[in-house]
Amino acid sequence: MRLGLALPQFGPFADPALIPLVAAEAEALGFESLWAGERVHAPTAPLTPYPSADGRMPELFRRGLDPLLVLTAAATATGRARLGTSTLNAPLHPPIQLARQLAGLDRLSNGRVIAGLGLSWSRDEYDAVGVPWRERGARLDETLDVLEHLFGPDPVEHRGRFWTISPGDFQPKPVQPRLPIYLGGVSPAALRRIGRRADGWLGVPLPPDRLRATLGTLADQARQAGRSPVATALRLNPRIQDERTDLPDVGPVDQLAEYLGRAAELGVADAFVDLQFTARSTEELLELAGRIREAV
């Protein structure tokens, strides 16, 4: 299994100076991908609950750096690691500007970008950027159309429900002939979209039996669409502690490694850990990263 690390970005780690330091050290430790997420707004009284057991947004998210800024800084400090977003909430962005940013980052990094896109759980974020909440799925679908057109041969053109791009040139293109697009989500609609349209799934640490079933559903959806199976990048936000638990991402490092081993047996080739939820300092984050890398 290829192992990745989320870059410093949120809460006490929202310091641009930390990004190149952690990125370079992570690559030296053998991490093969580096990741950044996105929070546009941190409402005091959210309109929609955070997708967790208690519905409360982590305090960590009240302070954060833009994901493409984070990956740009990481690109200049590294030479091999893939650079992914998990997730960048596509409907919150005009797709032609998003395409320009992704293409530029792919050229800066010499073809290392994975565009991981999602919808965001937060209705407040949609209100903040003036995008109707009820249109989020349709806008994601059309964003995928726009990216496909813009990253294809010139002249490019798009005429859709939300955006119109007149015939013209879009240059420079990404270095990668097909810049990989991964999508998040576990709902039936999300899995159908991933199977039909994405290069990969941004997975979550489901129990092994449910993970196996979800991977099977994705394979079925891709097969029905006449496509090859999609890849998986499994994200874990572990809380490292001495006591073992029944949760795959809450417990000691060896428990986390055991779960990743089981995921690898199921065919998951990529996983990454976000240690900002458990580390209290940059030094502790890197120390934990080294222990996890060695264990896996």
Total-model pTM? 0.96
Task: Kindly give the interhelix angle for 95-108 and 136-150, rounded to the nearest 10 degrees.
Answer: 50
- The pLDDT, as a whole number, for residue 126 is 98
Predicted confidence band of residue 170 (pLDDT cuts 50, 70, 90): very high
Domain that holds residue 163: 2-295
Are the CB atoms for 282 and 21 separated by under 8 Å?
yes
Query: Collapsing DSSP states into helix, strand and coil, what is residue 218?
Result: helix
Other C-beta atoms lying within 10 Å of the C-beta of residue 172 = 10
- 110-127: per-residue pLDDT in tens? 999 999 999 999 999 999
C-alpha span between 46 and 55 (Å, rounded) = 10
- 11-26: per-residue pLDDT in tens? 999 999 999 999 999 9
Token pair for 57: 């947004």
C-alpha span between 288 and 261 (Å, rounded) = 18
Residue 275 has pLDDT above 90, yes or no: yes
Residue 203 has pLDDT above 90, yes or no: yes
CATH number at residue 152: 3.20.20.30
Token pair for 221: 């959806």
C-alpha span between 24 and 234 (Å, rounded) = 22
Residue 46 has pLDDT above 90, yes or no: yes
Predicted confidence band of residue 222 (pLDDT cuts 50, 70, 90): very high
- The pLDDT, as a whole number, for residue 51 is 87
Residue 250 has pLDDT above 90, yes or no: yes
List 64's β-bridge partners, or say none: 10
Domain count, the chain: 1
